Amino acid sequence: MISPYAASELRPLFVRSDKRRKQLLEHAETLPSVTLTSAAAANAVMLGAGYFSPLGGYMHLADALSVAETMHTTDGLFWPVPVLNIVARVDGLASGDTVALRDPNVDGAPVLAVMELENIEEVSANQLFHMAQHIFGTTDMAHPGMAVFLDQGAYVLSGPIQVLNFSYYDQDFPDTFVTAYDLRDQIESRGWNKVVAFQTRNPMHLAHEELCRMALERLDADGLVIHMLLGKLKPGDIPADVRDACIRKMVDTYFPENTALVNGYGFDMLYAGPREAVLHAVFRQNMGASHLIVGRDHAGVGDYYGPFDAQSIFDQVPDGALEIEIFAADHTAWSKKLKKVVMMREVEDHTPDDYIFLSGTKVREMLSEGIAPPVEFSRPEVSKILMQHYQQSA
């Protein structure tokens, strides 16, 4: 199996000893506490689950600035996106404290992790904007990732953490949320060596399904991991439980047994396009995938990124930094001429009229009205689940 990123073994920060975890939870109730932002809580979950290995905790300001500007920490580790804990207030906190980090996404804000507070650093609005401009590739405040990043606070808390639970993810998605270390075990138990990962924050249409098959066949891979984001999205995106149901129905109906795993991870969507694609590659290597499908406008939103910017950014990855490889995919669509899903760059004598295209707006309108999209666009079993969601939400 592929090695974890930048280390000989995975370094999850979750306290796996039940006894030690109970002791820390009891001790945390006596400590000064900070309620995290949703973004910082998601970072803690990813650190705990091993997806952000080999990081040992939240970055300090110098590392965050360096990562934003150069995709390297100050000590030279290649990393595409700052992993931060930014807060609005630091009353009663001091460097050297042990601090309880509380979860904003669970009722009662229970303790999510315990942190050794190495640094409390004030971050200016200009520094935050500078980082955001590099991360998101824009200065447009309408970008959903920009708005979230810039609205977290004015103080950076850095230091190592010990993670004590996985927020709401393992409770709300017990069959889907999986840590990187457990996923590596699942892959190994199946005897898979060459493994393709497919990232999604949406239900999978027929073109996505066929793209996964293309990658499996062309790479002669042993298996596929459909790895869905389970955290917070922008308004209008399909909720995670609906996506989960759609994807599982598709896999159970149309994929042979022992060829595809359906799993999810606990992270809030950044909508950072190219930078987020590289982050996806880092944590897919940590979970045991040898290849990541990177398609058109991977992790993008609106018109902020070029259609293949998320592929070309991998040219900036230093040689030897990543062991995982990219399966660079073109836009896929149903060809009326060939009667199948194709990568558009691979077929000749096609005009736009030779493909079936449906905009997201058009699809939502159809589903809301109880009209199933054509079978060349979406599996009927998937469309049925989506129609029920849209009609209930109307």
Known catalytic residue: 202? yes
What is the Cα–Cα distance from 39 to 164, expressed in whole angstroms? 17
Query: Of 217, 258, 216, 230, which is closest to residue 167 (Cα–Cα)?
Result: 230
DSSP β-ladder status, 223-229 and 195-200? parallel
- Distances in Å between the Cα of 334 and the Cα atoms of 118, 201, 307, 354 are 54, 21, 19, 8
Task: Provide φ and ψ at 373, rounded to 5°.
Answer: -60, 160
What is the Cα–Cα distance from 241 to 249, expressed in whole angstroms? 12
Pair 78, 71: CB distance under 8 Å: yes
Query: Of 112, 241, 103, which is closest to residue 172 (Cα–Cα)?
Result: 241
| Amino acid residing at 357 | F
Query: Of 214, 191, 238, 179, which is closest to residue 44 (Cα–Cα)?
Result: 179
Helix axes 125-136, 61-70, angle to 10 degrees: 40
Catalytic residue among 21, 119, 202, 364: 202
Number of H helices, E strands in the chain: 13, 15
| Amino acid residing at 71 | M
Pair 268, 232: CB distance under 8 Å: yes
Catalytic residue among 102, 201, 243, 275: 201
Reduced to 3 states (helix: H, G, I; strand: E, B; else coil), residue 16 is: coil
The strand ranges marked E within 57-194 are: 57-58, 86-87, 98-102, 111-116, 119-122, 155-163
What is the Cα–Cα distance from 154 to 146, expressed in whole angstroms? 15
Pair 286, 10: CB distance under 8 Å: yes
Q: Cis omega (within 30 of 0) on the bond before 374?
A: no
DSSP β-ladder status, 332-335 and 291-294? unpaired
Residues marked as catalytic: 201-202
